[in-house]
Amino acid sequence: MNPNEPVTETLAETENYMIWKADEPDGETTYHLELNNVTMHFFQEEWEEFLALIRKLK
């Protein structure tokens, strides 16, 4: 394992979608939401706000 590379983990996955996170070497955690050919990238604070938004769906 290269200490200069992020450590990634798949959080959820379906046939067409994936959410994964990367623990970056600088200590930052980023989250990635892949929806077919679109990928959205979030820093920790943005991810938390996005999750709060999704939780409001009912």
Indicate whether 50 belongs to any domain: yes
Question: Which residues span the domain enclosing 21?
Answer: 7-55
pTM of the complete model: 0.87
The pLDDT value given to residue 4 = 87
Indicate whether 28 belongs to any domain: yes
The pLDDT value given to residue 3 = 79
Residues lower than pLDDT 70 in the chain: 1
The pLDDT value given to residue 10 = 98
Judge contact between 32 and 39, C-beta under 8 A. Answer: yes
The total of structural domains in the chain comes to: 1
Indicate whether 1 belongs to any domain: no
The pLDDT value given to residue 58 = 80
Q: How many CB atoms lie within 10 A of CB 32?
A: 17
Indicate whether 2 belongs to any domain: no
Indicate whether 36 belongs to any domain: yes
Indicate whether 19 belongs to any domain: yes
Indicate whether 14 belongs to any domain: yes
